[in-house]
Homo-oligomer: A and B are copies of this chain.
Amino acid sequence: MANFVLVHGAWHGGWCYRETAAALRAAGHTVFTPTHTGVGERAHHSAENITLETHIRDVCGCIEWEELSDVILVGHSYGGMVITGVADRLSDKIRSLVYLDAFVPEHGDSLNGLLSKALAPEVAAQFLGAFRGTALQDHSGLMQPIPAEMFNIAPANRARVDRLCRPQALATFEMPLLLTGALDNIKNRLYILADNWDPSPFRYFAAKAEKASGWQVVKMPVSHDVMVDMPKELAAELLKLA
């Protein structure tokens, strides 16, 4: 019986893990799918002034108030920024970290800063331009969601994803992650690369993980939204850690 906390990526919400969570629960495990402030069912708190720190506190709060320990903490995409911060604060509560087609930051990294490390310069510039450009529109401070098609999400699932995604504050992508280093005590790490979309910044992080000790790397033949397009296969992979 394991405790899973599944952390979603940018613009999404806990809703994206619906089928994966069901599969894990059917196997007898405890699962939480907290939604970040400002998106999904917390969209009524949408504001330009929501930061990476806000989202880290969201997930820490879930672990603390649900009094979880021995957690398998999964982060998708931008969620890799969040779970890294959470793990640094609650390292004694975390058994394993799973980066699901996700960013793997170090102290001082921001998501937008990592783009230029993980992508060709012109591709990084396109992403950065889209994020800052939509935030500049009407000075909203909010990044518009990337359409499901760009992530190569299965056609049958695109409408649902586009319908449920919401704008997200630019400050979540620009803020550096500040770490104490307590994170290093967590030895068990898995990288799951979604191997059926490009240009993906996540090939860079998977390649780094392959060379690092303490990491396992798994590749799945799927779009960026692994939990939407292959929810049961994802659950099967996570169950190996339980």
Residues of A at the B interface (CB closer than 8 Å) are 13-15, 18, 22, 25, 30, 34-35, 37, 40-45, 47-51, 53-54, 56-58, 60-67, 89, 108, 110, 132, 135-136, 139, 141, 164, 170-171, 174-176, 178, 180
Tell me the nearest residue of chain B to A37, going by C-beta: B45
A51 and B141 form a contact (CB under 8 A)? yes
List of B residues within 8 angstroms of A48 by Cβ: 51, 53-54
A176 → chain B closest CB, angstroms: 6
Say yes or no: A54-B61 contact (C-beta < 8 A), given A136-B178, A174-B176, A176-B174: no
Least CB separation from A164: chain B residue: B65
* A30 surroundings in chain B (CB, below 8 A): 22
Is the CB–CB distance between B49 and A54 below 8 Å? yes
Top 7 A-B residue pairs of the complex, sorted by shortest distance between their CB atoms: A41-B61, A41-B65, A44-B57, A136-B178, A53-B141, A40-B65, A49-B49
One complex includes copies of this chain to the number of: 3
In the assembled complex, the Cα of A152 lies from the Cα of B22 at a distance in Å of 35
Chain B residues near A89 (CB-CB < 8 A): 139
> Whose C-beta in chain B lies nearest to the C-beta of A133?
B178
Contacts of A176 in B (CB 8 A): 132, 174
The one of B54, B67, B171, B178 in contact with A135, judged by C-beta atoms closer than 8 angstroms, is B178
Option from B25, B49, B132, B174 in Cβ contact (under 8 Å) with A25: B25
Tell whether, in the assembled complex, residue A41 and residue B58 are in contact, meaning their CB atoms are under 8 Å apart. Answer: yes
Count chain B CB atoms within 10 A of each CB in A56, A64, A139 and give the residue with the most: A139
Known: A66-B15, A178-B136. A34 touches B41 (CB 8 A): yes
In the complex with contacts A15-B66, A51-B141, A136-B171 CB distance below 8 A: no
> Shortest Cβ distance from A221 into chain B, in angstroms?
27
A sample of 18 inter-chain contacts (CB < 8 A) reads A15-B67, A18-B66, A35-B65, A41-B58, A41-B61, A41-B63, A41-B64, A41-B66, A49-B49, A49-B54, A49-B171, A51-B141, A53-B139, A53-B141, A67-B164, A110-B174, A136-B178, A136-B180
